[in-house]
Amino acid sequence: MNTDIRHPLDDRLPALLRSGRTLRAIFNSLPSPAIVEMCAYAGFDFILIDNEHGSADLGITEHMLRAARASGIPPVVRCLRQDIARVLDMGASGVQIPMVQSAEEARELVQQVRYPGTGRRGSAFSPRAAGYGAFPGAEHTRRSNAGVALIVMIETEEAVAQAAEIAAVEGVDAVFVGPNDLSHSMGFGSDWKAPEVDAVIERALRAISGAGQCAGIIGMNGADEARYGAWGARFFATVASSVITHALRQAAQPVPAAARTGGPGY
């Protein structure tokens, strides 16, 4: 009998978030297991499968989770509350939940993510996370409670006012500031670099970090990382579709005649 079987649940994420390291993740809203693999091979610390704004159904999501496990990258699913149990049963390493407004709401999410003992997640050993019954019982419960991460998102001024309290909730593994929705909620539309929004972002990141929690935010480039890192952020996420679109725009630009090499394949 083969005893060298990789467990379907990658349980490294909570330790990564507690490590104190700078972490780089990438949102992927495209329903493609191949892109998940590409992000792994590119060297990201983890991937955020975006089921809040993406088009993947749950069947494709499960295939994306398989691709993540095969290529060695921990997968988080950003999902709506009603999908938490199902994506965890599929084997997600964590969930990222949008629009968390209060510490009370964060505590309720902890209950949904953890099995009895620390929460009230429904127990089942037949789904993929337990190897379809190959890894059942108390060990699956222990592994899941210790190895599945809960990342909550704060995206309004109301939530920022409670950032420290949200960050201090036991069972929350990271708090991510959503700058675009924050900017919209403040009346600045998509201008999340506006000074007024910037000041609220700084207040949120300093409060989260000051509570001893991993603070996350969108980081599209080195300048973003330097700016937000100075305020306490250490989990930075870029966006796969933006990276791809930028690369395609660059590739679509005419090549000056002097720069053409005429090399193989051109």
Nearest alpha carbon to residue 172 among 218, 234, 104: 104
DSSP state for residue 130 in the 8-state scheme: G
Residues 74-87 as b or e (16 or more Cβ within 10 Å = b): bbbbbbeeebbbeb
Nearest alpha carbon to residue 155 among 104, 100, 202: 100
**79 CB contacts (<8 Å, ≥6 apart)?**
51, 52, 87, 95, 96, 97
Please tell me which residue in 53, 63, 140, 246 is annotated as part of the active site.
53
Rounded Cα distance between 102 and 113, Å, is: 17
Indicate the pairing of strand 149-154 with strand 94-97. Answer: parallel
C-alpha 12: how far from chain center: 14
Identify whether 63 is a catalytic site residue.
no
Which residues participate in catalysis according to the annotation? 53
